[in-house]
Amino acid sequence: MASVGLFRLPPAGLTQRQAPVGSVAHPLPLIIDSDPGLDDALAIACAVVRPEIKLLAVTSVGGNADVHHCTENALRLLHLYGADDVPVAEGAVGPLVGPLERATEIHGESGMGSTQLPKASRRAEPEGAVALMARILESSPEPVAIAPIGPLTNIALLIRSFPHLAPKISHICLMGGSVGEGNSSASAEFNIYADPTAAEIVFSSGLPITMIGLDVTHHAILDRSILERFAQLPGRSAKAAAELLKFSFDRSAAWGQGEKMAIHDAVAVLHLAIPDLVGVSRYHVVVDATSGPARGRTIGDANPYRLKRDKREPNCDVGLTIDSDRFADEMVAIFAKLP
């Protein structure tokens, strides 16, 4: 049986992807739901630049930082990237149930490290995140993919508030979870840990899902060598990204975790633009939404015997492998194209 590092591929190995992938001829319509956030900043850049994606909106959710910071960061990032035409709307402050979870120790109080991005010349849409997503889904001539890269609160609210719009969601390609170890706790990854109830609503919704979890994003690493590569790039975006990354490397070094950062969120977006970057396998995933020590765990099962025995069907693709060198090259190529 093939293995990747400490992780053993499931019996089925890697399987055919279910997620749609855009093309230059037919860009994939996409909404990003985000808690910008340092790695969110790079993910949004991917969606702005890649010709296989048509970014329709960025909605914010409280997570890495307070939601008002996340909204402002989304506006300023899109302004920096020359994408002021992409609407932004503010979503949930915190989880459906349970305490507010933040990751400001990683992303800084503002969510953007110590970087002051240039102010945007516009405000967020007054209707709010869930209403904006619903309006886009309602009016789109074709189903729209959603890339949640923060806690899933807004997505759960969308599913429960507008069930008739489910057929207009082509795919949910989320950054979150892990079939292996967590990060916020030994069991749970931050985006799921921050709102397990919302995550359980999403994973049990029947919608097509790809879970881009830590299993694959822990191989989407940038280290200090990227700073030199970004320094050669002409635009303000690359300089700002280098500042954001340097903040992460310094924090990571201060914690004795080496001078590197997993760019988790960008993998979820690039999976929708580059068909062979990430290898996936089918799993049945449920979320532990209890308040015990495994709170927020995504329990992934791909064992054919247990699935048959318990009459459970796989409900999502789980990202397991990535071409790590190509990932770093793609990030440089993306920021080379930004103003």
Contact between 72 and ligand RIB per CB under 6 A: no
Catalytic residues: 264
* Residue 194 binding Ca ion, by CB under 5 A: no
Residues 9-38 vs ligand RIB: string with x where CB under 6 A?
--------------------------x-x-
Q: Minimum distance between the CB of residue 195 and Ca ion, rounded to whole angstroms? A: 13
User: Which residues, in sequence order, are CB contacts of 187 under 8 Å at separation 6+?
Assistant: 288, 293, 294, 295, 296, 297
Cβ-in-10-Å burial (0-12, 13-18, 19+) of 135 comes to middle
| Helix residue spans in the chain (DSSP H) | 38-49, 67-80, 104-107, 129-139, 153-161, 190-193, 196-203, 214-217, 225-231, 236-254, 264-270, 304-309, 324-336
From 150, 176, 196, 213, residue interacting with Ca ion (rule: CB under 5 A): 150
Return the range that interacts with Ca ion (CB under 5 A); candidates 152-160, 218-226, 260-268, 287-295: 260-268
CB of 18 to ligand RIB, least distance (A): 21
Question: Do residues 289 and 297 lie in contact, with contact meaning Cβ atoms separated by under 8 Å?
Answer: no
109/102 Cα distance (integer angstroms): 9
Binding of residue 210 to ligand RIB (CB under 6 A): no
| Beta carbons of 36 and 70 less than 8 angstroms apart | yes
Q: Which residues in 173-202 contact ligand RIB (CB under 6 A)?
A: 175, 183, 189-191
Chosen from ligand RIB, Ca ion, none, partner binding at 199 (C-beta under 5 to 8 Å by type): none
Whole-Å CA distances, 103 to 36, 38, 189: 11, 11, 12
- Window 33 to 62, contacts with Ca ion (CB under 5 A): 35, 37, 40
Smallest distance, Å, CB 300 to Ca ion?
20
Q: Which parts of this chain interact with ligand RIB (CB under 6 A)? A: 35, 37, 39-40, 63-64, 103, 149-150, 175, 183, 189-191, 264-265
